Amino acid sequence: MALLVTGVAGFIGSSVAAALLARGEQVIGIDNLNEYYDPALKRARLERLGAAHGNAFTFEKVDFADQEALEAFAAPHRFDRIIHLGAQAGVRYSLVNPQAYVRSNLMGQINMLELARHREVEHFVYASSSSVYGGNESLPFRVEDRVDHPISIYAVTKKADELMGESYAHLYRLPMTGLRFFTVYGPWGRPDMAMWIFTKSLYEGTPLQIFNGGDMRRDFTYIDDIVRGVLSCVDGPPNDDGKRKAGGSKSPHAIYNIGNHRSEELMRMVSLLEQATGKTAAFNFQPIQPGDVKDTYADITAIQRDHGFEPSTTIDVGIPRFVEWFKQYHHID
């Protein structure tokens, strides 16, 4: 039986779909190919999937915030698991266009949950975010921590997604796993994220905008580790009594952090980019941006315990791989 992957033209969705296809699964993918960032990159990701896997991969352009459109798409298709990775991503844009987040991340999530419940899928796996930890100051962030201080509308919608998931798991015994990803990077990454923007600036010879004087730390997580983490949850038994504890839930709903479990200084990321590109950065220092969290650091005990997940790629290895891909994608010699 096929898996339905939403946001399949996105960074993480296309990478997860590629891994599923590589191991012989049938993947039905949907995405609305919106213009939050260059749709040509989204199309290139889709071409890569279609070219490599032919009939095993089906794509349809669908807006899952539109319930009628979603139902019309789903009617002829059969799938037993859903990996819901489509969303309006990005913290800063949620201060500019909060409505886009409410639409895709709240209306979209409820539409996907309704679909999952009517189809009685075996497992609904969805993306949350480290941003739900918001103003939490005790590091590392643990899934058991209270998360009731979101500092952006993006974080609000991700926390609400978890609450909706909890309610559907409880009401309909829908097996459910929510994944709080930590700053994902790597080949086929996102042009709105710092690593891409810095690499572009280095090649263009323009100053890097550095917030909070560079005094920020991120748990940078390489895409291959994220993909392995997602697949380990998709493959594992959705939930049993032991696993319900992960997110403090009594319903068949687990929530995990997926991070690298290392909190790296932003400026170390910059110096690795300088090494990999062979360029020297100029800087334009700015105050911390509204909505931005100063530090992130994932405690991954829960997913280690329940799914044997271990991240394996440090930024010393992952950043040169990203830069190599970036050069190929942009035809930089």
Candidate list 101, 154, 168, 222, residue with the active-site label? 154
Kindly indicate which of the ranges 81-89, 115-123, 228-236, 279-287 contains the residues binding ligand NAD, using the contact rule CB under 6 A: 81-89
256 labelled catalytic: no
One-letter-per-residue 3-state SS of 45-89: HHHHHHHHHHHHEEEEECCCCCHHHHHHHHCCCCEEEEEECCCCC
Q: Name every residue whose Cβ is closer than 8 Å to that of residue 143 and which is 6 or more positions away in sequence.
A: 180, 246, 247, 248, 255, 256, 257, 299, 302
Q: Which is nearer to ligand NAD, 123 or 190 (CB)?
A: 190
Q: Radius of gyration (Cα) for the chain, nearest Å?
A: 19
| Total residue length of the chain | 333
**Does the protein bind ligand NAD through residue 181 (CB under 6 A)?**
yes
Q: What track of x and - describes contact with ligand NAD for positions 113 through 132 (by CB under 6 A)? A: --------------x-xx--
Q: Strand pairing partners for 221?
A: 184
* Residue (130 or 251) nearer to ligand NAD, CB: 130
- Any contact of residue 108 with ligand NAD (CB under 6 A)? yes
Residue of minimal Cβ distance to ligand NAD: 10
For 241-274, give the DSSP string. Answer: HHHHGGGT-SSSEEEEEES-S--EEHHHHHHHHH
306 touches ligand NAD (CB under 6 A):
no
- The CA distances from residue 53 to 87, 196, 254, 263, 332, in Å, are 25, 28, 31, 36, 28
Q: Among the candidate windows 31-39, 230-238, 246-254, 276-284, which touches ligand NAD by CB under 6 A?
A: 31-39
Name which of 224 and 283 has its Cβ closer to ligand NAD: 224
* In the complex, least distance from residue 205 CB atom to ligand NAD, rounded to whole angstroms: 27
Asked if residue 184 binds ligand NAD (CB under 6 A), the reply is yes
The verdict on 31 binding ligand NAD (CB under 6 A) reads: yes
Rounded to whole angstroms, the Cα distance separating 28 from 21 reads 10
Kindly report the CA angle at 16 between 179 and 6, in degrees rounded to 5? 75
Cβ(177)–Cβ(256) below 8 Å: yes
d(CA 239, CA 306) in angstroms, rounded, equals 9
Q: How far apart are CA 136 and CA 140, in angstroms?
A: 10
User: Which CB sits closer to ligand NAD, 119 or 279?
Assistant: 119
Residue of the chain from 29, 32, 261, 302 that contacts ligand NAD (CB under 6 A): 32
Nearer to ligand NAD, 169 or 298 (CB): 298
Out of 2, 7, 91, 152, name the contact with ligand NAD by CB under 6 A.
7
Helix, strand or coil, per DSSP, at residue 141: strand
Neighbouring C-alpha atoms within 13 Å toward the C-beta of 311: 25
Closest distance of CB 66 from ligand NAD, Å: 8
Looking at residues 202 to 241 of the shown chain, list those that interact with ligand NAD (rule: CB under 6 A).
none
Q: Binding of ligand NAD at residue 195 (CB under 6 A)?
A: no
**Binding of ligand NAD by 313 (CB under 6 A):** no
25 vs 31, beta carbon nearer ligand NAD: 31
Q: Which residues bind ligand NAD (CB under 6 A)?
A: 7, 9-13, 31-34, 42, 63-65, 85-89, 104, 108, 127, 129-130, 181, 183-184, 190
Active site residues: 154
